[in-house]
Amino acid sequence: MPPALRPLRVPGWWQVDPAHGPALLALVADPGGGLEGASDAEVAGLAWLAERGLGPRPAAAPALAVFPPVDGAGSESLADAHWLGRARWYGRPPGWPADGPENRVQGAGLLEGLGCALRRLHDLPVDASLPVVDLGELLVDAAERVAAGVVDREQFAPARRRLEPQRLLDQLHALVPVLERRRPVEPVVTHGACRLGAVWLERTEPTGFIGVARLAVGDPYRDLGAMARSLAAVFGAEALPGFFAAYGLPEPDPIRLEFHALLDELL
């Protein structure tokens, strides 16, 4: 019987030649190696960013195999593998995630790197191949998660941890008419889940993004609010001015920030 596949401990992402159809690509180091698959949306987002210098770099591929998706997951054994001669493997970006110990010690340099990374992403030309996400869709997603009981209050910011998810959802709906009266912002390419662990840096220099299954065109405050929430949770609110200054927005809209930080708690 072929050996079972074990998840790899280091992140890896794979792009399959479209001619082969939808599939998960696995790095198999040896017959007892492992599999880590990425969703179609994640693979598409990584490939899109890599072509623009903001995603994981294509790397030389060792042994590669394609596994047909099974209920959204990878195959369970090597018996179902179809070996390929041509495929691209995306390794992890150079450096470390922004919340890793190697980057936490960078101080103001880390904040500057994060601001520059997000600015580079938001400055990319909007591409018609990317999906467009609007506020209504995000609110529906948040409401469905609250109704399903899958929102974890323990992951909330400390100031909100005592609140029920429904209370945050009510606050979001109350802010919608306030947002609608404010000057609209220009849609940009957004990450969609832009927290510290999604941005990789090497000595304060941005090297790429991961976790890009939600890559889409939308409100830049979707990323700004999520990153502000993530930064405040790890470094405190005093880290925010340096981040926004590096991004080029020294006076962010506080209502938009609050709205998208609340939304990020529920998504």
CB 176 within 8 A of CB 260: no
| End-of-domain residue from the set 90, 117, 133 | 90
Q: What is the mean pLDDT of the chain?
A: 78
pLDDT digits (tens, 9 = 90+) for 190-208: 999 999 999 999 988 998 8
Mean pLDDT for 59-67 is 47
Q: Which residues of 142-173 are buried (b: 16+ CB within 10 A; e: fewer)?
A: bbeebeeeebeeeebeeebeebebeebbeebe
Which pLDDT does position 40 carry in this prediction? 65
Which pLDDT does position 94 carry in this prediction? 79
Name the nearest CA neighbour of 197 among 106, 46, 119, 95.
Answer: 95
Could you tell me the residue range of the domain that residue 101 belongs to?
96-266
* 166 and 208 belong to one structural domain: yes
Which pLDDT does position 255 carry in this prediction? 95
Name the nearest CA neighbour of 94 among 211, 202, 209.
Answer: 202
Q: Place 44 in a pLDDT band, splitting at 50, 70 and 90.
A: confident
- Beta-strand relationship, 216-218 and 205-209: unpaired
CB atoms within 10 A of CB 181: 7
Residue 73 CB partners (closer than 8 Å, separation 6+): 37
* 171 and 245 belong to one structural domain: yes
Q: What is the CATH number of the domain that holds 200?
A: 3.90.1200.10
pLDDT digits (tens, 9 = 90+) for 134-191: 999 999 999 999 999 999 999 898 889 999 999 999 999 999 999 999 989 999 999 9
pLDDT digits (tens, 9 = 90+) for 74-103: 444 444 444 444 344 455 677 888 999 998
Domain assignment present for residue 27? The answer is: yes
* 131 and 73 belong to one structural domain: no
